[in-house]
Amino acid sequence: MRENPVKIAVLVSGGGTNLQALIDAQESGIIKSGKIELVIANNSGDYALERAAKAGIKTATVLKKELGSAEAFEQKIKDLLTENGIEIIVLAGFMAILSENFTKDYPKRIINVHPALIPSFCGKGFYGLHVHEVALEKGVKVSGATVHIVIPECDAGPIVLQRAVEVKQDDTPETLQLRIMQEAEWKILPEAVRLFCDGKIEVKENKVYIK
Ligand code: GAR
């Protein structure tokens, strides 16, 4: 068992309710072997930044518009991660797709929460509320959330945890989104981070084994 907690960065793009679930899990001692050292947002004014500041966590905003290119945007994030000695990166509602040039530098060290049961309703263009709109259009009776390891192919990395959530007949994309967050995302994301920080995750041939 190592003495110092694993240094975690959380990347966000919006309201940050998943970030909040991580902060709460840290404060209540569910995540003991890891510590959120840095929150990076890719939009200014994200409410997630306020949540981080309230919890006393260092924040940074990285804007692609200001930096001029996707390469410069990713390089800036990498620099921040290196400067802060980050070991694990959590994408918690982060809406930018990271290129292979980025992900290859952090093998098995980036995890993402996706608001559907992968391999359903995932890949390029499937993010945020749109995922739930398509799920309802398809008439699925069950949806849910997935935490997976990030590889260059979008939403295709090894699955760490999943939780199913019932779809109700009168659901709107908004009610389904909220129920999936409450019943699945806010539970399995902190649990996956805990498993990572405790060294309980093993990846073999694109599959996760929990020790
Ligand atoms: C969450 O539902 C998350 O799963 C989703 O965006 C929402 C962010 O909410 N992420 C994606 O769609 C990424 N593919 P939050 O900012 O309140 O955590």
pLDDT in tens, 94-114: 999 999 999 999 999 999 999
Question: Which residue's CA is minimally distant from atom 7 of ligand 1?
Answer: 93
pLDDT grade, residue 2 (50/70/90)? confident
Whether the per-residue pLDDT at 144 is higher than 90: the answer is yes
Residue to substitute in 181, 186, 188 for testing ligand 1 pocket (most ligand atoms within 8 angstroms of CB) = 181
Whole-number Å distance, alpha carbon 157 to ligand 1 midpoint, is 17
Give the chain's mean pLDDT.
97
Instruction: Give the pLDDT confidence score for residue 87 in this predicted structure.
Output: 98
* DSSP character string of 93-148: S--SPPPHHHHTTSTT-EEEEESS-TTSS-STT--THHHHHHHHHHT-SEEEEEEE
Question: 189: closest CA among 22, 37, 14?
Answer: 22
pLDDT grade, residue 58 (50/70/90)? very high
Whether the per-residue pLDDT at 1 is higher than 70: the answer is no
Whether the per-residue pLDDT at 27 is higher than 80: the answer is yes
Helix (H) or strand (E) segment spanning residue 71 = helix 70-83
What's the pLDDT tens digit per position in 161-180? 999 999 999 999 999 999 99
Residue 20, ligand 1, Cβ within 6 A: no
Lowest mean pLDDT among 1-10, 60-69, 80-89, 176-185: 1-10
Catalytic residue among 114, 130, 132, 148: 114
User: Could you tell me the two tokens for 130?
Assistant: 């749109």
43-71: average pLDDT:
96
Those residues with Cβ within 8 angstroms of residue 69's Cβ, 6 or more apart along the chain or in another chain: none
Residue 127, ligand 1, Cβ within 6 A: yes
111-119: average pLDDT:
98
Whole-number Å distance, alpha carbon 83 to ligand 1 midpoint, is 26
Provide the Cα torsion 53, 88, 110, 209; round to 10°.
-130
Question: 189: closest CA among 140, 146, 134, 136?
Answer: 146
Contact yes or no for 92/10 (Cβ under 8 A): yes
Question: Does 148 participate in catalysis according to the annotation?
Answer: no
d(CA 46, CA 40): 10
Peptide bond between residue 119 and the one before it cis (omega within 30 degrees of 0) = yes
